[in-house]
Amino acid sequence: MTVVNTSAQADNAKLPDVDEQARAEAVVVSFQTSPEQYRHWSIDIDGPVATLTMAVDEDGGLVPGYALKLNSYDLGVDIELYDAVQRLRFEHPEVRSVVVTGGLDKVFCAGANIRMLAASSHAWKVNFCKFTNETRNGIEDATAHSGQTYLAAVNGTASGGGYELALACDQILLVDDGSSAVSLPELPLLGVLPGTGGLTRIVDKRHVRRDLADVFATLPEGVRGETAARWGLIDESVPRNGFGQRVRARADEAAAGSNRPADATGIALPPLQRELAEDGLRYSFVRAELDRADGTVSITVSGPSTPEPPSLAGLHERGANFWSLAVVRELDDLILHLRTNELELGTWLLRTEGDAEQVLAYDQVLVDNAEDWLANEVLHYLKRTLKRLDVTSRSMIALIEPGSCFAGSLLELALAADRSYMLSGSFEDSDVAPAALVVTGMNDGVLPMGNGLSRLGTRFLDDVDAVRRTTERSGGPIEAEEALDLGLVTFAPDDLDWEDEVRLAVEERASFSPDALTGLEANFRFAGPETIETKIFGRLTAWQNWIFNRPNASGADGALRKFGTGQRATFDRKRV
């Protein structure tokens, strides 16, 4: 996902030292923004077509130490893009196609800022790459499931992550002006690999022949015009004097085939109400308690609290305050906050509380009205947020206790966990009924993982009898012993052993190498078929992170540090 525009080599500004960058990264990153706060993107809506224009403010870096020249980006630029994609889906149902273009002359996007990458800690690079991946996947998800087809109007050179942004779009149009090109020059210039799915999308999505892809990825200058179209790297090369008209024609054609409602009213996505303290965060339906001594976060998701029965009319009327949408927005923000700002809290304890019947009632509104544009958007947002949880490099343990509501959509949290503990019976001197799980159709493919399977299907991979036994219990409460027998939980201790069992599990997790745990968890979470998504995140977790950490890329004489200095990188020539 690294970046590059060869013209950036003239910029020989001094790299910030590592300590300076580490201090800058110590600031708390917020993932909340809105169009009136954007510094790098603008949204223009003309009937059914929206245009997202990238004109990056050079001085608008998220942390000091680099200039965002040539429409290069950092995490702050991507946070705005993620927000824009979300708002187009929820606030603008009238939009049926989205054009992504550059706002600078002869530059679409130079990709991720090299100086930011060279000076950043490894953890920062990893989280940056992961969030960028998820945002690109969200663009593809909008095209596939929201009736909002994305088109890249590449108005100038698109290199590195800039071309990868275009690859996330359904169609790519490149201006043919004799100089504009698409390129993935990370290997020859930076000693790393495209980390936002570039290589995977070229061959798996665009079906570029592997020999041509090999040539393309080793050409620092990239490929232009008709050659790029002939190789399949773009869809069309268009002369500059007719570029705007051709882009609009393609956008109108895509819009005409959309099923988005022409007369629907969107809903606003207001700022989340969040209390942030040293020892935790609190939203309306989600809270997190941070235990820095134990390295844990206790995350509790609360069920609905409104007494009125949910309905489709209520969804449209309440909008962002409808429980299903409110809780997923809060959970999404919490995951991003913890992933970026709390690196040493390596174990997340997942809890729920509330009335399972109310959770199921809200789920049913979404499932019964999946053809409604807004219900559809909420379902896919739930899916994307759970996928974000799946690819988060933290150990996750579900704690299923009396008073919990692991039912339907919230049962997915327990199914996403690396292991789960369910109390058998009740706590002594408590009149709260024993905990129970509820499996529903929401757990049977409505919210698939990146591998295309449900979490139940992944859990019981190729064991059709186990899946059948579980789904046959759909709708009814399943207490601890039965849940253990069905394979829905890992352990079911009674109240005498509960505290010790959980404590030992947490202490054991904290004693292991975080790096080894990341590799272990990433392998176990995605059993089954491989998809573009699992390939992208698998390579990000393994090869790209390893390459980023190697001296050939990130060492004092590595390509990232030497880029733009006029000096050549020194490579360790051993193949390993």
Q: What's the CA gap between 397 and 169, in Å, rounded?
A: 36
Query: CA 555, CA 59: separation in Å to the nearest integer?
Result: 27
User: 254-293: per-residue pLDDT in tens?
Assistant: 999 999 998 899 999 999 999 999 999 999 999 999 999 9
403 and 361 belong to one structural domain: yes
Residue 343 tokens read as 């690196």
Judge whether residue 379 has pLDDT over 90.
yes
* Residue-level pLDDT at 574: 80
| Domain co-membership, 242 together with 296 | no
Question: Percent of the chain, pLDDT > 90?
Answer: 80
Q: Is residue 269, in this structure, part of any structural domain at all?
A: no
Is residue 253, in this structure, part of any structural domain at all?
Answer: yes
* Beta-carbon count within 10 A of 226 CB: 13
Quote the pLDDT of residue 6: 27
Residue 24: what pLDDT?
A: 54
391 and 337 in a common domain: yes
202 and 291 together in one domain: no
Cβ partners under 8 Å of residue 404, min gap 6: 351, 352, 353, 435
Rounded Cα–Cα distance for residues 333 and 314 (Å)? 24
DSSP-based three-state secondary structure for 348: strand
Residues 6 or more apart whose CB falls under 8 angstroms from that of 515 comprise none
Would you place residue 11 in the very low, low, confident or very high pLDDT band (cuts 50, 70, 90)? very low
How would you label 243-274 residue by residue, b for 16+ Cβ within 10 Å and e otherwise? Answer: beeebbebbeebbeebebeeeeebbebeebeb
- Which region, left, alpha or beta, applies to residue 361 given φ > 0 means left and ψ of -120 to 50 means alpha? alpha
Domain boundary among 229, 257, 285: 257
CA distances, 538 to each of 217, 521, 544 (Å): 20, 11, 9
pLDDT digit string (tens) for 406-460? 999 999 999 999 999 999 999 988 899 999 999 999 999 999 999 999 999 999 9
Question: Please, what's the b/e burial string for 479-496 (b: 16 or more CB within 10 A of its CB; e: otherwise)?
Answer: bbebbbebebbbbbbebe
Q: Cβ neighbours of residue 573 under 8 Å, at least 6 residues apart?
A: none
List C-alpha distances in Å: 289 to 345, 354, 389, 431, 574.
Answer: 11, 18, 18, 25, 46
pLDDT, tens digit, 9 for 90 and up, residues 109-121? 999 999 998 888 8
Structure tokens belonging to residue 233: 């790297």
- Rounded to whole angstroms, the Cα distance separating 444 from 458 reads 11
- Other Cβ atoms closer than 10 A to 510: 15
Instruction: Please give the DSSP secondary-structure letter assigned to residue 407.
Output: B
| Pair 298, 170 in one domain | no
How many structural domains is the chain composed of? 2
- Asked whether residue 482 is assigned to any structural domain, the reply reads yes
Same domain, 187 and 295: no
Which residue in the block uniquely carries the two structure tokens 């809890």?
351
Same domain, 369 and 509: yes
Question: Is residue 53 within 8 Å of 44, Cβ to Cβ?
Answer: yes
Do 150 and 212 have their domain in common? yes
Task: Return the ∠ at Cα 335 (arms to 400 and 486), rounded to 5°.
Answer: 30
70-119: per-residue pLDDT in tens? 999 999 999 999 999 999 999 999 999 999 999 999 999 999 999 998 88
Distance CA 210, CA 232 (A): 11
Q: How high is the pLDDT of residue 26?
A: 65
Question: For residue 99, what is the enclosing H or E element?
Answer: strand 97-102
Tell me what percent of the residues of the chain surpass a pLDDT of 70: 95
What is the domain range of residue 397? 276-524
- Can you tell me the distance from the alpha carbon of 311 to that of 486, in angstroms, rounded to the nearest whole number? 33
Q: What is the H or E stretch that residue 297 is in?
A: strand 296-302
Residue 71 resides in a domain: yes
Phi then psi dihedrals of residue 59, to 5 deg: -95, 10
End residue of a domain, out of 524, 540, 570: 524
Burial (Cβ within 10 Å: 0-12, 13-18, ≥19) of residue 123 = middle
Let me know if residue 559 belongs to a domain: no
Q: Is residue 271 part of a domain?
A: no
Distance CA 488, CA 478 (A): 9
Taking a C-beta distance cutoff of 8 angstroms, is the pair 495, 434 a contact? no
**Dihedral sign of CA atoms 165, 168, 169, 175 in order:** positive
516 with 418, same domain: the answer is yes
Q: What is the pLDDT of residue 21?
A: 54
Q: What is the CATH number of the domain that holds 217?
A: 3.90.226.10
Q: How far apart are the C-alpha atoms of 482 and 479, rounded to whole Å?
A: 6
Task: Say if residue 410 is in the same domain as residue 493.
Answer: yes
Say if residue 151 is in the same domain as residue 285: no
**Residue 400: both structure tokens together:** 């299923």
Residues whose CB falls within 8 Å of the CB of residue 231, separated by 6 or more in sequence, listed in order: 208, 209, 212, 216, 223
Q: Does the pLDDT value for residue 18 go beyond 60? A: no
**Residue 533 has what pLDDT?**
92
Look at residue 8 in the predicted model and tell me its pLDDT. 29
Q: Is 189 found in the same domain as 65? A: yes
**Does a structural domain hold residue 566?**
no
Domain-located, residue 408: yes
